[in-house]
Amino acid sequence: MQNTGGDHSKNLVFTELSNGNRELGEAFAADLSNMVAITGLQNPKAIPFEVLPPSWKSLAAKEDKSDEDIKKLDSVFTKSIYELAESYLLFICTKVQNTTGKINASEYEKFILDSKYMKAGILNNPQYLSKVKANIKNMFAKISAHGEESGDNLIDKHDMAAYIYAIMNKAKRVDNKFSGFEVNGLIEPMELSVCESLLCEEEDNLMSLKLRVGFKFLNGTL
């Protein structure tokens, strides 16, 4: 793992997020911020983020896959998502000076405000800031409970992995009815824009469902 210096043995974050790479997490955070403007609109010039390696996509496209192929697909899928989740969470922890690897609501709010809204100057607009903080509160509630009604009020690597699963998977519809998800290994600006909008809603919605499915799938309980 590539991290900052210091006594790692005294810092729980390096144990909790042992597969994290701070540089990867920083790059991922920058890409997410670039994909969707603070207005909620997608950036048409943003490049999708590749979560899964080309080898996974090649194997997924193979016809007549063996049981071993399917097992490898599931393994690489889960490993890739968890490595990115731990990397992103590790980066967040370094920005908010968290030493546990599990962030609380105030730390999450600080990170989102600093990384996405600070440059826009909205911190000097009390009315708009209040609305943004309400949205961030709803986002945290959904992610920390991986779409369930209640959680431990912390975002850990499992919650973050479910979040990445959710923003990477597109909802499929047949005759205008939900019929599952499709995976192409990419996080795309348009899908991220929709997901962020749904995260800001207080009520249970499709994003809640995607988080629940992601958490269960990645932890083998689906």
Give the pLDDT confidence of 168-200 residue by residue, as tens digits: 988 777 887 777 778 889 999 999 999 999 999
**Of 136, 145, 154, which Cα lies nearest the Cα of 208?**
145
Give residue 7's pLDDT.
52
Amino acid at 209: L
Residue 132 lies in a domain: yes
Residue 106 lies in a domain: yes
Strand pairing partners for 18? none
Give the model confidence (pLDDT) of 84-100 as tens digits: 999 999 999 999 999 99
Q: Which domain holds residue 53?
A: 8-37+49-218
Residue 42 lies in a domain: no
pLDDT-derived band of residue 10, with 50, 70 and 90 as boundaries? very low
Give residue 148's pLDDT.
87
φ/ψ of residue 89, rounded to 5: -65, -35
Q: Is 220 exposed, middle or buried (0-12, 13-18, 19+ CB in 10 A)?
A: exposed
* pTM score: 0.90
Identify the residue with better confidence: 90 or 39: 90
**Alpha carbons 30 and 21: distance in angstroms, whole number:** 14
Number of domains in the chain: 1
Query: What is the pLDDT averaged over residues 30-42?
Result: 91
Query: What is the pLDDT averaged over residues 137-161?
Result: 93
Residue 168 lies in a domain: yes
Residue 206 lies in a domain: yes
Helices (H) and strands (E) in the chain, counts: 9, 4
Rg of the chain in Å (alpha carbons): 18
Residue 3 lies in a domain: no
Residue 1 lies in a domain: no
**Is 80 exceeded by the pLDDT of residue 166?**
yes
Residue 2 lies in a domain: no
